[in-house]
Amino acid sequence: MLGSSSRSLHLCILSDREISEGPHDWGGIQTHTKNLISLFLREGHAVSLITREGEELNNGDLTVIPAIDKRTDGNNKIWYRASADAFLRLHGRKPVDCTFSEGEAVWGAMKSILEKRIPIVACVHNLRFGHFYDNFQEVDGLRPLGSYTCKFVPKLLYGMLTLEIPFLKNCKRIISVSPTVARRIESLYHIPRERITVIHNWLSPEDGFVFNEAARHEIRKQFGISENDIIFILVGSLWRPKGFRVVLRAFEEVLKEVPNSYLFIAGEGVDRDRLFFENRLKQSKVLTDHVRLLGLYPRSELPSLLSAADTFIMSSLANEAFPFTLLEAMSMGLPIIATDTRAHREVLGNEGFFVKRRDAKSLTRAMISFASNLAYRKEEAITNNKRANECFSYELAAKKINGVISDVMAQSDQGNNSNNNN
């Protein structure tokens, strides 16, 4: 069904992430791209996706073009050249009306796109500015501090000045997934507010993040956990800014008060070994018996896993822009304990349950409180589910995106008519 954009268009999305199905389909940008494709198709548009690598597809209104051969070491320079060539071939076969860029993925093709007067819409998930803090979380000594100061910071500043700022200034419209990122774009990069639209992440109807009673029983049976036991769950990449090690320290104390509790961790990452050994999962039989490191978990199977849980923990130390995992847990009707960050408050609202970052004692108290109070868990679950449905629905996202498309196409048509008259 066509929304307020009023006509069927050929929309091209460029994303430098591989879009796949299976255990490796994790990541906010990959999920956003899939949801964007689904929304465009539902709204009656033809969609072409130029992606780094993957399987080529030409299925009616959806075309997927992998720009880089899987056998090639596809660094950014190769991606920029390959994506530009792929776009020109695509536009030659079927003219593109509007392009959407996941981050700066369109950079290599930008010159050609602008020359052809095709509007560019940027989807911004975070700014390099935000990575200053995130990566500082990895600094734990003089050597890492030296590396951070001498290597990382100059590289980050160079990317901001030579890539991020020029890219955003050349886009017709910028979609920010969070108000915080939108304010930074406006204040730091001096881009007019009217060119920035906040469109929160959303879940597509086919994602299936709905509580499933049968799946709850099946997953618990699979892991030998009874219905009276308590399951806390973490979902995400295993690296320090996610705060999983803080959760493990807290969980050691929780077990002393709630011995029938379990901790599920779904995800992989560079911190897995440190996470494993520093918290004595091998040395402590109690932790070994009560912590399940599940590794990469296909996103399509996450609803079943989340159905088995009693409380979701969002322990990020960094200020993520808008984490999909939090929205997925809310949609499932799970009570949530989250670290007190600006992003988490934007998603959960001020009525959410928050603990201080890195504060294992506060987290311990919260986990014990949630485990022992079923009525409160149900109350929190209802609040979270209601907020997800009211504030981050597909319908709301579709309305806003259709509005963006209508605006940029109207500006493009007006500009083209003016050039023709001249």
Q: What percent of the chain has pLDDT over 90?
A: 64
Residue 7 has pLDDT above 50, yes or no: yes
Q: Predicted confidence band at 4 (pLDDT cuts at 50, 70, 90)?
A: very low
The reply to whether the predicted model has a pTM over 0.85 is: yes
**pLDDT at 72 (0 to 100):** 56
**pLDDT at 205 (0 to 100):** 82
Question: What distance in Å separates the CA atoms of residue 327 and residue 235, rounded to the nearest whole number?
Answer: 12
CB distance 384 to 378 below 8 Å:
no
Segment 161-173, tens digit of pLDDT: 899 999 999 999 9
Residue 15 has pLDDT above 80, yes or no: yes
Question: What distance in Å separates the CA atoms of residue 25 and residue 30, rounded to the nearest whole number?
Answer: 7
Query: CA 250, 251, 252 angle in degrees (round to 5)?
Result: 90
Query: CA 189, 194, 195 angle in degrees (round to 5)?
Result: 60
Residue 5 has pLDDT above 60, yes or no: no
Distance of CA 87 to the CA centre of its chain: 25
Question: What distance in Å separates the CA atoms of residue 381 and residue 211, rounded to the nearest whole number?
Answer: 11
Segment 35-62, tens digit of pLDDT: 999 999 999 999 999 998 778 888 889 9
Least confident span in 34-38, 140-144, 192-196, 301-305:
140-144
DSSP per-residue codes, 115-154: HTT--EEEEES--HHHHHHHHHTT--SHHHHHHIIIIIHH
Residue 275 has pLDDT above 90, yes or no: no
| 3-state secondary structure (DSSP) of residue 14 | strand
Q: What percent of the chain has pLDDT over 70?
A: 87
Per-chain mean pLDDT for the chain? 88
- Right CATH for 206-391 from 1.20.1250.20, 2.130.10.10, 3.40.50.2000, 2.60.40.1930: 3.40.50.2000
Q: Predicted confidence band at 206 (pLDDT cuts at 50, 70, 90)?
A: confident
Question: What distance in Å separates the CA atoms of residue 338 and residue 105, rounded to the nearest whole number?
Answer: 31
Segment 241-266, tens digit of pLDDT: 888 989 999 999 999 999 999 999 99
User: Greater confidence, 308 or 140?
Assistant: 308
Segment 58-70, tens digit of pLDDT: 888 999 999 987 6
Please report how many Cα atoms fall inside a 13 Å half-sphere around the Cα of residue 334, on the Cβ side: 34
Residue 28 has pLDDT above 90, yes or no: no
Residue 416 has pLDDT above 70, yes or no: no
Q: What are the residues whose beta carbons fall under 8 Å from the beta carbon of 238, sequence distance 6 or more? A: 244, 265, 267, 268, 269, 270, 271, 272, 275
Question: What distance in Å separates the CA atoms of residue 238 and residue 293, rounded to the nearest whole number?
Answer: 10
Residue 217 has pLDDT above 70, yes or no: yes
**pLDDT at 73 (0 to 100):** 56
Q: What are the residues whose beta carbons fall under 8 Å from the beta carbon of 335, sequence distance 6 or more? A: 310, 311, 312, 353, 370, 376, 377, 378, 380, 381, 384
Report, as an integer, the average pLDDT of 382-394. Answer: 95
CB distance 314 to 352 below 8 Å:
no
* CB atoms closer than 10 angstroms to residue 154: 10
Segment 105-156, tens digit of pLDDT: 999 999 999 999 999 999 999 888 776 665 665 566 677 677 667 777 788 8
Domain range summary for the chain, segments of one domain joined by +: 10-125+171-202+393-421, 206-391
Domains 10-125+171-202+393-421 and 206-391 share a fold: yes
Report, as an integer, the average pLDDT of 93-101. Answer: 97
- What homologous superfamily is domain 10-125+171-202+393-421 in, according to CATH? Glycogen Phosphorylase B; (3.40.50.2000)
Q: Rounded to 5, what percent of the chain is helix, strand, coil? A: 50, 15, 35
Segment 323-358, tens digit of pLDDT: 999 999 999 999 999 999 988 999 999 878 999 999
